[in-house]
Copies of this chain bind each other. A is one copy, B any other.
């Protein structure tokens, strides 16, 4: 049996071919194909990933038994129609292909398909849940401009804003000022403007890296930084709780967990878990998945579809062979 699994993301497209035992035959990485990009970009990068992967695996599309895809930024009905249209254009037949939003894939990585909620907090943030009746809901995931509360980017912007206010005399002094000047190797706070707008051109992933410094400052006792990290934890919990409410599973025995680098922060974890414990009395709150490999979601989805058990050992061996 030959299974193609793909993680179609905002920053890259990753495709692998594996079998039902978990052996990986081919892998390919190309540019991003998330749905907010132009169609020609998506078709090009996704097409190349498929072609390269098939060629490395000495296979044709017809020989694939299943194609399991996690796709970023499928938000609207039009996005879904476009996704299926592009997939079919590239030769992926509707019968053999599963497409899921990347938040759904993350949900599978956290819950392995059992009723529950996964809350992603990496560069961006989004929550997704499914209840025992199979009903689905998302919360958050409105992107870096509108929301993504609690994400690394959001934390970074809160910190930059706090530094700007402290500099102007519109906000409390914070250790973040010194730390960010060191980080950027600058002498005056206003030079942050050159860094962010001119040198980094507002690049989201680059800016999001500042979140680490905020957590560091929080650990060293800075009140402003700590407040930002705690607010992140609260915002992430609010997303989870809004999903639980909409799916009417606040009292259910569900699995809930965070996933993504932001949960490295003990301040985020503490507030996040506290609010979940207080409001979801029967939930099993899992430790956050921090080193999540996004391809894991569509792998679990594929095995679930095939009704083949997937042990944690097998997952680890697959992931190990991917990192080679």
Contact = CB atoms under 8 A, between A and B. Distances in A.
A139 B194 contact: no
Contacts of A78: 191, 194
Assign chain A's interface to a size class. 35 or more
Interface string A61-86: 00000000000010111110000000
A45 to B, nearest CB: 16
A160 interface: yes
A146 interface: yes
B73 A242 contact: no
A28 interface: no
A108 B54 CA distance: 66
A168 B143 CA distance: 14
Contact of A242 (B140, B168, B202, B238): B168
Contacts of A165: 147
A46 interface: no
A76 B194 contact: yes
A245 interface: yes
Given A76-B188, A188-B76, A193 B242 contact: no
Given A36-B197, A139-B168, A169-B139, A75 B190 contact: yes
A79 B242 CA distance: 46
A323 to B, nearest CB: 31
Nearest to A147: B164
Contact of A146 (B145, B147, B157): B157
A133 interface: no
A292 B319 CA distance: 60
A193 B161 contact: no
Given A139-B169, A168-B140, A207-B145, A193 B73 contact: yes
15 contacts: A75-B191, A75-B193, A75-B194, A79-B194, A138-B168, A140-B170, A142-B161, A142-B193, A143-B193, A143-B197, A146-B157, A146-B160, A147-B161, A168-B239, A170-B238
